Amino acid sequence: MTDSAMVLAEGDLHFPPGIESFNFRDWFTGLSETGLANVFTTLTFAVWLSVAVIIVFFLWAYRKPQIVPTKRQWLAESAYGFIRNSVSVDLLGKKAGVRFAPYFATLFLFILVTNMWAIVPGIQISPNSHIGFPLVLGLMSWVIYVYVGVKKHGFLGYLRATCIPAGTPVFIYPVVIPIEFLQNLILRPVTLALRLFANMFAGHLILLVFFLGGFQLLNSENIFIQSMSVFSFAMGIAITAFELIVIVLQAYVFTLLTAMYVQSSLADEH
Amino acid sequence: MIQAAEGGTAILFPIWQEMVVGAVAFGLLLFVLMKFVFPRMEKTFEARVDAIEGGIERAERAQEEANQTLEEYRRKLATAQEEAAAIRDEARADAVAAKEEILVSAREEANRIIAAGHSQIEASRQQLVRELRGEVGNLAVDLAGKIIGQRLAGDADTTATVDQFLAQIADETAETSGAR
């Protein structure tokens, strides 16, 4: 591994960790000055690996689907069925729910697996702790819910439906319209991306604090301070378990909010 | 590298190469899952629903068939019972009729026999009476001739007397037989 987190873990960088801990060297140093900078890093590798893992698992698990599922088929079906039934169909109804379920399920799986690298030993950082990846997903959500809304209501109809809540008195239009416009058409993808990014960023930072702190204590001259590093490492392990919850929850929240935005675009009344 | 040089807010600015990589990777995942995996899952779900509903339907059909068969058997049984009852009734009626007929013919036969007997007896009696009348007359004449003597034989008066006497007897006999 060539990422700086691992280098830090080896003890030749200073404590406390800062944002420089999130920078990754290009694997091929010759590319750094070209347009391919940042294309081959640990983070992009993790993204490709995530996609590969998901594709391979699903193609393998669903090679020969049967009415009475095998264990791995059941697992694959549950992953899809969970998003399909308790998010998509629940929010959008049977018809639209089934139509959008594949996108939501893919979104959920992609975020879940890319998040998971935050606690995989050897990598221990999620690609989503760089704003670029969550931003792509947020923009995708934006494109989808705006497209769905425009298709259903027409361009002006959608603007009207999304900017003017039903039953608003005319005299507060000047206040409501800018707020709703900003909130529903500008901030939604940004908040989606920022929420995911900030959670993964903070999670990585906290893990760094405890693990690097442990090494820092260990490097001390004092035997008493050195023994304290045990607590730091224990705390790091506990935070890792906590991270697992955050990873799943953030994937779910991102998917759920996207589904809710699509629902609001499909709704007759805002 | 780049971010470190730009200071604290740099983390909020996306690296465009990463956005491209993210978009391409996510797009690939979308393509594969939405083309090869999820539609097949939906098909499996449908097949599963079909299998379950089909099973229920088949069971319902079998149940209905069984009900129909049962109904048919019941109907057949009822018909058979009705038929048996009808046959029994008919037999009973036949037996009664036969008995009546036999009785009637027997009675008729008996009456006929009785009547025949009566007439035969009557005829025999008449015949006897006729025969007796002639014989008694002759006997009486013979007897009287022997008693009175042979001189009187052939006298016309005597013959008339005998006839008168015999008629008297016949009347009496007729009266007695009528009284009997």
Closest CA to A254 of A187, A197, A186, A182: A197
Q: What is the pLDDT of residue B178?
A: 57
Residues of A in contact with B2 (CB under 8 A): 23, 38
Å between A143 CA and nearest CA of chain B:
13
Q: Does B30 touch chain A (CB under 8 A)?
A: yes
Tell me the pTM: 0.69
Å between B63 CA and nearest CA of chain A:
25
Q: Does B38 touch chain A (CB under 8 A)?
A: yes
Å between B57 CA and nearest CA of chain A:
18
Q: Which of B19, B34, B44 sits opposite A65 (nearest CB)?
A: B44
Nearest residue of chain A to residue B41 (CA atoms) = A77
The token pair at B117 is 């007997």
d(CA A14, CA A117): 24
Å between B17 CA and nearest CA of chain A:
6
Nearest residue of chain B to residue A132 (CA atoms) = B14
Quote ipTM for the complex: 0.84
d(CA B30, CA B25): 9
Q: Does B143 touch chain A (CB under 8 A)?
A: no
Å between B33 CA and nearest CA of chain A:
7
Q: Does B24 touch chain A (CB under 8 A)?
A: no
Domain interval for residue A57: 4-266
Q: What share of chain B is helix, strand, coil (3-state, %, to 5)?
A: 95, 0, 5
Q: Which of B20, B23, B51 sits opposite A67 (nearest CB)?
A: B51
Å between A269 CA and nearest CA of chain B:
30
Q: Does A59 touch chain B (CB under 8 A)?
A: yes
Q: What are the residue ranges in chain B where pLDDT is below 70?
A: 1-8, 149-155, 176-180
Residues of B in contact with A103 (CB under 8 A): 30, 34
Closest CA to A246 of A203, A217, A211: A203
Nearest residue of chain B to residue A3 (CA atoms) = B1
In tens digits, chain A (270 residues) has pLDDT values of 334 444 444 444 556 777 667 777 777 776 766 767 777 888 888 999 999 999 999 999 988 888 888 888 999 999 999 999 999 999 999 999 999 999 999 999 999 999 999 998 888 888 998 999 999 999 999 999 999 999 999 999 899 888 888 888 888 889 999 999 999 999 999 999 999 999 999 998 898 889 888 888 888 888 888 888 899 999 999 999 999 999 999 999 999 999 999 999 998 764
Nearest residue of chain A to residue B29 (CA atoms) = A51
**Number of structural domains chain A divides into:** 1
Handedness of CA B139, B143, B146, B152 (dihedral sign): negative
With an 8 Å Cβ cutoff, are B44 and A77 in contact? yes
Handedness of CA A75, A76, A77, A82 (dihedral sign): positive
Q: CB neighbours of A117 closer than 8 A, spacing ≥ 6?
A: A46, A50, A123, A124, A125, A126, A127
d(CA A150, CA B59): 48
Residues of A in contact with B51 (CB under 8 A): 67
Residues of B in contact with A201 (CB under 8 A): 11
Q: What is the pLDDT of residue A123?
A: 81
Q: Which of A37, A77, A201 sits opposite B41 (nearest CB)?
A: A77
Q: What is the pLDDT of residue A259?
A: 95
With an 8 Å Cβ cutoff, are B30 and A106 in contact? yes
Q: Which of B11, B38, B48 sits opposite A105 (nearest CB)?
A: B38
Handedness of CA A19, A22, A25, A31 (dihedral sign): negative
Å between A106 CA and nearest CA of chain B:
6
